[in-house]
A and B are shown apart, each in its own frame.
Chain A
């Protein structure tokens, strides 16, 4: 394993070189996995449905519109909860990073709620917020908020002191330092927080739907479980995986766009 810090040019060419090759390996690996799965089902080693059956069910659910409705219901909850969670987390995180007192007051609460799995809040949320969308969106909000807020304030407190001094000696006041130094310098941290937040929001929505919902991918799986409908469970799982992957890629892309100026260390 070698570690190299690349400059802009080699970084790009390296990625281009690697991409098709890596993509092929990924495809190959997936194909092998599906092959093993198929072998296990035809040989009778497993009671799982075969890849073929799952594919048929997927097409069926896609054509009936059921799959899209479920995906839409889950995505909607995630996006609303995540959007509110992270939008509130960023200013709160900045506040905590910038003012010692704000940190001292808010931090204990965050540390406390951080160790409670968001799912453990669901019973309380259902009792107090009812059984409609509110409790689900609330727990997702909480999951996204907690990871983004911690990342943001970590970002603020780890801004290199010399950047602040350099700005001050060039004539910057606190307001300018905040806007032109603290915000850009902590952006990479915030984006990592978003990525983790989106991941935990997605994990939380599915679990929340398993417990209390009338729609969504988690709800569909829970229903299928009642009828021993394994193919539908598989279809839902695959949809969850693909949607999660797509959302993660979008955040990673945004991250690369917004923080292209960062020196990155590659591990090969």
Chain B
């Protein structure tokens, strides 16, 4: 059964940077399965290897030991089946918003008209359709990140990898984008691996929170978030939410 096969699977994954005395173990023997359609958030102090883990799934760096599989296939370099959203937005400033979203579609060899239609569809989804012809420099941080999200969605990845995507945004914008992410997830049930340093955010959007420990980066604890979907403000302010948040907080800071 395909249902039993995890979407993302870390099997004893380690990553060492550098050689000899200067070497540094970013990630030590991480094993973790993420189910299809699951939202996993990863939290931990700096140096816990959370970005390293994500970059290994993305195929941007290779594991030193162990194996990472996505949909059962061992990861060998980046691919459009895994959409990545970076903290620094990483929009190409020399392209308009529309052309940014079309970038990946163009690489797939999609025709002009279809590309444009599809890009506009996703821009509409994130509320940026009127800004299609604007350049990124004219957008606010939140709008830039929404554009980056549209760009990642446009190529229709089965996995979304998000590296502190809302970290640079103000609290209100952040909450709005969290809700938007969950709304979109409710429709397509994509697997999401979401890295954050914000414990509230980690609990609010996740099925499970993965807590990593630092030096060397390793798995500390996996905490189930036993809260119903759709999540809303009521849940965010509930006692159950607070209890889970406190547990995650302790796991992160009392290591």
Q: Which A residues between 132 and 178 are near B, CB-CB below 8 angstroms?
A: 160, 162-163, 165-172, 176
Distance A46 CA – B112 CA, assembled complex (angstroms): 70
Query: Does B245 sit at the interface, judged by CB under 8 A?
Result: no
A263 x B84 contact (CB < 8 A):
no
Distance A172 CA – B60 CA, assembled complex (angstroms): 12
Q: Which A residues are CB-close (under 8 A) to B80?
A: 169-171
Dominant secondary structure of chain A at its interface with chain B: helix
Interface string of A222-264 (1 = CB under 8 A from B): 0000000000000000000000000000000000000111110
Instruction: State which size class the interface on B falls in.
Output: 20 to 34
A168 x B60 contact (CB < 8 A):
yes
Q: Which B residues are CB-close (under 8 A) to A9?
A: 138
Q: Which A residues are CB-close (under 8 A) to B108?
A: 171
B138 x A166 contact (CB < 8 A):
no
A167 x B93 contact (CB < 8 A):
no
Q: Which of B86, B93, B103 contacts A262 (CB 8 A)?
A: B93
Query: Does A58 sit at the interface, judged by CB under 8 A?
Result: no
Q: Which B residues are CB-close (under 8 A) to A169?
A: 58-60, 78-80, 82-84
Chain B residue at minimum C-beta to C-beta distance from A185: B94
A261 x B58 contact (CB < 8 A):
no
Q: Which of B88, B94, B103, B104 contacts A162 (CB 8 A)?
A: B88
Instruction: State which size class the interface on A falls in.
Output: 20 to 34
Chain A residue at minimum C-beta to C-beta distance from B82: A169
B135 x A171 contact (CB < 8 A):
no
Distance A163 CA – B100 CA, assembled complex (angstroms): 11
B137 x A171 contact (CB < 8 A):
no
B161–chain A nearest beta-carbon distance, Å: 8
B107 x A170 contact (CB < 8 A):
yes
Known A-B contacts A166-B86, A169-B58, A263-B137; the reply to A181 vs B104 at CB < 8 A is no
Interface string of B72-101 (1 = CB under 8 A from A): 000001111011101010111111000000
Q: Which of B78, B93, B134, B155 contacts A168 (CB 8 A)?
A: B78
A184 x B92 contact (CB < 8 A):
yes
Known: A160-B90, A162-B88, A184-B92. 10 other contacts (CB 8 A): A163-B92, A166-B91, A167-B92, A169-B80, A171-B108, A176-B107, A181-B92, A184-B94, A260-B135, A263-B93
